[in-house]
């Protein structure tokens, strides 16, 4: 089985087929979401929060992204793999953006890279695309700019903000991005942008009228009941399932129910000796 390509994903927009994208950070999760049939897997810099326990994504390094990209890449059979360019790995210059993207492809197994920003990131997108590396752009709420935007807020609510977002979307398409993520944008504006673009739009907190949706795998699977932004639907509550399973393990270890005989290796010659000890 071969991995989905940029062309496959673009054909999905043309054929009105929705794109399902989800994050993954290790080979096991990658294997599971790939088997479930997602079209795109994103190694998001959300791993700073979800995996590393940080308050935001700003401290994630290119080395972190390469490591997790390589892990996820090993778990995929059919889904397309996009890896995030982390904060300060592409903002300095288009050359820096290209160098970092090259490492995500060569060392991190990425088929495409994702970066944040609209008009301001167009020169970086052009440089990366010119080198033959497909780019996913990310506009709307851009978590790497959290200190400038003043928090995790819906973007594009004002007329000026909406016009800027439309300009950003058109700029990244013009620069050569093959796809764009819209995060925390009013549904009506996201629908307008989707209609205006030839490239697929993927939404997170942007309503239903996009070409696809993305969620963080831990949110979708319900790993953390204390985190429930409006745009997340928990398709399972694995937090409860996992805590219950581990509670049972703890109880069975303490009571001696685990390990049972079927989990145990025996030595016939020593059995009689040990039996005498007990």
Helix (H, G, I), strand (E, B) or coil at 34: helix
Contact by Cβ (8 Å): 140, 165? yes
Residue span binding ligand KIV (CB under 6 A) among the ranges 40-48, 85-93, 97-105, 226-234: 40-48
Angle between the N-to-C axes of helices 187-196 and 159-175, in degrees from 0 to 180, rounded to the nearest 10: 30
CA 199, distance to chain mean position in Å, is 19
- For the CA atoms of 37, 3, 23, 96, what is the dihedral angle to 10 degrees? -170
Q: Binding of ligand KIV at residue 30 (CB under 6 A)?
A: no
Contacting residue, 34, 39, 45, 126, with ligand KIV by CB under 6 A? 45
Contacting residue, 122, 128, 179, 181, with ligand KIV by CB under 6 A? 181
Residues 6+ apart with CB under 8 A from 20: 37, 38, 39, 40, 212, 213
Q: Binding of ligand KIV at residue 23 (CB under 6 A)?
A: yes
Total of chain residues touching ligand KIV, rule CB under 6 A: 12
Q: Binding of ligand KIV at residue 216 (CB under 6 A)?
A: yes
- Closest separation in Å from C-beta 170 to ligand KIV: 20
Contacting residue, 79, 214, 217, 220, with ligand KIV by CB under 6 A? 214
- Closest separation in Å from C-beta 187 to ligand KIV: 17
Residue span binding ligand KIV (CB under 6 A) among the ranges 44-52, 149-157, 230-238, 257-265: 44-52
183 an active-site residue? yes
| C-alpha to C-alpha distance for 210 and 116, rounded to whole angstroms | 18
Residue 18's CB is within 10 A of a number of other CB atoms, namely: 14
| C-alpha to C-alpha distance for 96 and 101, rounded to whole angstroms | 8
- Mind telling me the catalytic residues? 183
Interacting residues with ligand KIV (CB under 6 A): 23, 42, 44-46, 84, 138, 181, 183, 204, 214, 216
């Amino acid at each position: 089985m071969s991995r989905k390509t940029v062309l496959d994903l673009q054909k999905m927009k043309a054929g009105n087929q929705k794109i399902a994208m989800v994050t993954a950070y290790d080979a096991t999760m990658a294997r599971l979401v790939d088997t479930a049939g997602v079209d795109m897997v994103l190694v998001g810099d959300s791993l700073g929060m979800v995996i590393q326990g940080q308050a935001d994504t700003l401290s994630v390094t290119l080395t972190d992204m390469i490591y997790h990209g390589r892990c996820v890449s090993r778990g995929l059979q059919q889904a397309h793999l996009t890896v995030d360019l982390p904060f300060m790995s592409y903002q300095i210059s288009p050359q820096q953006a290209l160098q970092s993207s090259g490492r995500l492809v060569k060392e991190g197994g990425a088929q495409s890279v994702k970066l944040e920003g609209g008009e301001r990131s167009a020169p970086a997108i052009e440089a990366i695309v010119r080198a033959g590396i497909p780019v996913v752009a990310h506009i709307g709420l851009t978590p790497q700019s959290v200190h400038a935007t003043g928090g995790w807020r819906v973007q594009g609510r004002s007329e000026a903000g909406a016009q800027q977002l439309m300009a950003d979307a058109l700029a990244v398409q013009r620069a050569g991005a093959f796809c764009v993520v819209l995060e925390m944008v009013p549904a009506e504006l996201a629908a307008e942008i989707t209609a205006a673009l030839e490239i697929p739009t993927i939404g997170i907190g942007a309503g239903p009228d996009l070409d696809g949706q993305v969620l963080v795998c831990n949110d979708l699977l319900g790993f953390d009941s204390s985190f429930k932004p409006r745009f997340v639907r928990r398709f399972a509550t694995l937090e409860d399932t996992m805590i219950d399973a581990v509670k049972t393990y703890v109880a069975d270890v303490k009571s001696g129910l685990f390990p049972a005989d079927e989990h145990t290796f025996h030595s016939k010659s020593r059995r009689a000796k040990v039996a005498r000890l007990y």
